[in-house]
Amino acid sequence: MTETSTASTAQTPDPGPEFQRKVLTVLALGQILGGLGTGATLALGALLVTEVSGSSAASGLAATMNTLGAAILAIPLARLAQRRGRRISLTTGALVAVAGAAVIVAAAALNVFPLLLAGMGLLGSGMALNLQSRFAATDVAPARTRARDLSLIVWSTTVGSVVGPNLFGPSETLGRVLGLPQFTGGFVIALCAQVLGAIVYFIGLRPDPLKVALSRGESVASTPSPAGGFTLLRTVPAARRAVLVVALSHAVMVGLMSMTPVHLTTHGATLSAVGLTISLHVAGMYALSPVFGWLADKLGRAATVLAGQALFAVALVLTWLGADHQGLVLAALILLGLGWSASTVSGSTMVTESVATHDRPGLQGTSDLTMNLCGAAGGALAGPVLALVGFSGLGLMALVLVAITTVMAMRSLRSGSDTPNPAEA
């Protein structure tokens, strides 16, 4: 197989910019609601796990189970999208996240640690559907604006994700009013947000964008191969590099971010200060994503990945040198978010463009699986590393992953495989 899979030349007429604008509007609204739920629980997960387990060493399991759940659900949701379309897949993902939030609240009330971890895993469905939403934005997008359209969906998460961590105080008040255990009020907010998201996806995505894309004259197997995505990783170098870029970048972000609340609280930071730090970090992840999408369209996908890795490197050096200073930790988390945004927007576009349309759902699901497995590993390893070498040592060790990702991006840049498939450009 060649560096990039060959797309069919027979295509139906483009559905037009109005249809794409409608798709982007629906996906953006769903992302705002999903981001609100994620933001409201991002740091509370680690604190709740610590509270129920009685050990701060287990705090990293919150992010681990969340990302592991997203990884496990990535391929089933992708297969569901290929069989039934994005509308059914995204709606199903939101409903699974609703179930996860309910299980978490029940587990905290019963003080059952294994049940709490299971709920964290189910809640990871919210992350899985958020990731699939960014790919849904590219289903009928023209190649010249594909990265920008993808980045707009990433950006739309900003509203909920930035507001969410600042709901720590109100969510605790809500939890007390409802008679719930400490740190569970945010999960009630997440549950309600995901219910609304499911309604938005189910009603709004008509006609289904993936079905429209697949109806453009390409030959599509009626039953997707379970190993399709992994086969593409073995046979298409551009796909392999793109998936590694996204996965390793996510591991760096999750590993450092998940330990920040624990590090700050053990050094005397207030819950409000932790919330502000996470809010600004999440703002860095999403707020400037359209800028990185524009850069990826204008300068190239791999070049933008390299810019993201440079931001990562500066952030990790700051954590190494200033772990004991809340101001430097705050600056590092903002840069960490910006580096993730640049790398994820451009890397995800590379994933989409590395294969033909009928192969994309399978590769996208495999990419999300790999991304979240790496994130889960990053979260799981971050706790013991934090206990062993501290926050500064954690940042220093993450530089190894940045170096590997930089090499992958440079190879894509030299090969020219970060540009769209010539058959559709």
314: domain CATH number is 1.20.1250.20
Sign of CA dihedral 227, 229, 230, 235: positive
State mean pLDDT over 186-203: 92
Does residue 408 lie in a domain region? Answer: yes
What is the pLDDT, as a whole number, of residue 15? 62
Least confident of 34-48, 117-131, 302-316, 318-332: 34-48
Lookup: tokens for 78: 């992708």
Does residue 420 lie in a domain region? Answer: no
What is the pLDDT, as a whole number, of residue 39? 67
Mean of pLDDT over the chain? 83
Does residue 269 lie in a domain region? Answer: yes
Looking at per-residue pLDDT, the higher value among 161 and 22 belongs to: 22
Q: In the structure, what pLDDT confidence band is assigned to residue 223 with cuts at 50, 70 and 90?
A: very low
The domain total for the chain is 1
Listed in sequence order, the DSSP H helices in 144-300 are: 146-163, 168-177, 185-204, 209-214, 228-235, 237-266, 271-286, 289-299
Sign of CA dihedral 349, 19, 32, 115: negative
The enclosing H or E element of 382 equals helix 360-415
Does residue 2 lie in a domain region? Answer: no
Sign of CA dihedral 280, 284, 290, 291: positive
Judged against a pLDDT cut of 80, whether residue 43 lies above it is answered with: no
Does residue 7 lie in a domain region? Answer: no
What is the pLDDT, as a whole number, of residue 2? 41
Q: What angle do CA 22, 418, 374 make, to 5 degrees?
A: 85
Residue pair 312/339 in contact (Cβ under 8 Å)? The answer is yes
- What digits encode the pLDDT tens for the residues 82-98? 888 899 999 999 999 99
- In the block, which residue shows the tokens 């890795």? 309
Does residue 171 lie in a domain region? Answer: yes
Q: In the structure, what pLDDT confidence band is assigned to residue 423 with cuts at 50, 70 and 90?
A: very low
Residues 6+ apart with CB under 8 A from 149: 20, 24, 137, 138, 141, 293
Closest CA to 102 of 180, 2, 15, 24: 180
Residue pair 405/248 in contact (Cβ under 8 Å)? The answer is yes
State mean pLDDT over 2-16: 45
Residues 6+ apart with CB under 8 A from 104: 48, 116, 119, 120, 123, 184, 187
Give the domain range for residue 300: 17-217+225-415
Does residue 8 lie in a domain region? Answer: no
What is the pLDDT, as a whole number, of residue 226? 40
Over the range 343-379, which residues count as b (16 or more CB within 10 Å of their CB) and which as e? bbbbbbbbbbbbbbbbbbbbbbbbbbbbbbbbbbbbb
DSSP letters spanning 133-186: HHHHTTSS--GGGHHHHHHHHHHHHHHHHHHGGGGHHHHHHHHHHTTPPTT-HH
**C-beta neighbour count of 55 within 10 angstroms:** 12
Number of residues that this document lists for the chain: 425
Does residue 395 lie in a domain region? Answer: yes
What is the pLDDT, as a whole number, of residue 286? 83
- What digits encode the pLDDT tens for the residues 11-26? 445 567 789 999 999 9
pTM: 0.79
Q: In the structure, what pLDDT confidence band is assigned to residue 400 with cuts at 50, 70 and 90?
A: very high
Closest CA to 194 of 23, 35, 368: 35
Half-sphere exposure of 114 (CA within 13 A, CB side): 0
Judged against a pLDDT cut of 50, whether residue 335 lies above it is answered with: yes
The per-type count for the chain, helices as H runs and strands as E runs, is 16, 0
